[in-house]
């Protein structure tokens, strides 16, 4: 059988498939299929230093055939509780765990990373994914992820205290991701995750107002795949040595192959897994069938093969 092993910098994973942060419950999915057979890593829901109830209802809208909108916010128990009670549940499946972190100031990011890796349960964490879509309290509420300077500052601060590879998740809600990615890499990021949700809205025509309490939220699902691929291709062309993890609208093995050919070493699946938890085993089968048909022993020959040469 062909090997689905992939590398992201110094880390090796048995499969290029991961869940997207916030759209996965390891216990529930493990009742559907053995996670270790179809997933290379498990990415935790983003945790913040303090517990948070998230945003007010209504905070999700299903968009039939398109995906969904969410403005859940970073709801969670906070890092201390997450390390104590959630991390052991994520690390229970024989699959490497990626910790996803957000905070609202540079100091809070830095202190959180120190706190995480001092914890006795932290030895299972293989990589840290930074979710920089959180409002920056020192920049009038705009997100860290939309300013190259802030990305440099926060990634530098985290890198100095982070003992595991550091992945930076990029927001597409900017004019160009390239200067942001460049600063993340200059500050020491070991990988880029592209992309977080795309800003979107929905109107409830009976109530004659926006459906989401926050008016706008993050759009995810099938319709964002071309947008995610666009960003991945731009990143792969500009930073050919950088590991990229693709995310956005992935539903099938063919979608995954597109992301690999666009330069990704791995991919994450979110919204589709809500609809079909078996997407991971079914994509795994599809990848193996493609590799057999193409006579591929491993994924290496296709990673980045569709990136235009500069
Ligand atoms: C309900 C929901 C919750 C999410 N929560 C997070 C989160 O906590 N942290 C994060 O970095 N991204 C979060 N995301 C974004 C996803 O990780 C992913 O970037 C996005 O949904 C695009 O992938 P998809 O089209 O496969 O869902 C969330 C997405 C959804 C739909």
pLDDT at 11 over 80: yes
Please check whether residue 270 lies inside any domain of the structure. Answer: yes
Please check whether residue 79 lies inside any domain of the structure. Answer: yes
Mean pLDDT for the stretch of residues 273-287: 97
Predicted confidence at residue 259, as pLDDT, reads 99
Please check whether residue 309 lies inside any domain of the structure. Answer: no
- With contact defined as beta carbons under 8 Å apart, do 4 and 281 qualify? no
Task: Ligand 1 pocket test: pick from 17, 19, 21, 264 the residue with the most ligand atoms within 8 Å of its Cβ.
Answer: 21
pLDDT at 141 over 70: no
Please check whether residue 307 lies inside any domain of the structure. Answer: no
Q: Give the total number of structural domains in the chain.
A: 1
Full domain range(s) for residue 38: 6-53+72-199+221-302
Which residue has better confidence, 52 or 280?
A: 280
pLDDT at 35 over 70: yes
Please check whether residue 139 lies inside any domain of the structure. Answer: yes
* pTM, entire model: 0.97
Residue 217 Cα to ligand 1 midpoint, Å, equals 11
Mind listing the pLDDT tens digit for each residue in 245-256? 999 999 999 999
Closest CA to 286 of 65, 32, 17: 17
Please check whether residue 63 lies inside any domain of the structure. Answer: no
Residue 134 is among the residues annotated as catalytic for this protein = yes
- With contact defined as beta carbons under 8 Å apart, do 20 and 268 qualify? yes
Please check whether residue 308 lies inside any domain of the structure. Answer: no
Please check whether residue 208 lies inside any domain of the structure. Answer: no
Predicted confidence at residue 140, as pLDDT, reads 66
- Ligand 1 pocket by C-beta < 6 Å: which residues? 20-23, 45-46, 68, 70, 72, 100, 131, 169, 196-197, 220-221, 224, 247-250, 269-272
* 276 φ, ψ (degrees, to nearest 5): -145, 90
| CATH classification at residue 154 | 3.20.20.70
Whose alpha carbon is nearest atom 19 of ligand 1?
A: 196
């Amino acid at each position: 059988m062909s090997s689905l092993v992939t590398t992201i910098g110094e880390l090796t994973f048995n499969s290029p498939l991961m869940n997207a942060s916030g759209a996965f419950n390891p216990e529930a999915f493990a009742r559907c299929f053995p996670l270790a057979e179809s997933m290379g890593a498990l990415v935790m829901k983003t945790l913040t230093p303090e517990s948070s109830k998230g945003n007010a209802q209504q905070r999700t809208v299903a968009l039939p055939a398109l995906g969904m909108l969410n403005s859940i916010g970073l709801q969670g128990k906070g890092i201390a509780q997450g390390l104590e009670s959630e991390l052991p549940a994520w690390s229970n499946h024989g699959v490497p765990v990626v910790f996803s972190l957000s905070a609202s100031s540079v100091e809070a990011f830095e202190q959180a990373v120190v706190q995480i890796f001092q914890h006795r349960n932290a030895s299972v964490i293989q990589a840290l994914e930074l979710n920089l879509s959180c409002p920056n309290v020192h920049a009038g509420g705009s997100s860290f992820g939309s300013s190259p300077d802030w990305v440099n500052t926060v990634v530098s601060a985290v890198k100095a205290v982070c003992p595991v590879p550091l992945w930076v998740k990029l927001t597409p809600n900017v004019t160009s991701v390239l200067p942001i990615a460049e600063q993340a890499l200059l500050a020491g990021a070991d990988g880029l995750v592209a992309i977080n949700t795309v800003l979107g809205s929905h109107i409830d025509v009976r109530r004659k107002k926006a459906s989401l309490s926050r008016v706008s939220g993050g759009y995810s699902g099938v319709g964002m795949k071309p947008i995610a691929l666009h960003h991945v291709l731009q990143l792969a062309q500009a930073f050919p040595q950088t590991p990229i993890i693709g995310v956005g609208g992935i539903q099938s093995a063919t979608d995954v192959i597109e992301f690999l050919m666009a330069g990704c070493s791995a991919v994450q699946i979110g919204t589709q897994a809500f609809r079909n938890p078996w997407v991971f085993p079914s994509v795994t089968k599809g990848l193996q069938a493609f590799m057999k048909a193409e006579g591929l022993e491993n994924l290496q020959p296709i990673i980045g093969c569709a990136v235009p040469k500069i």
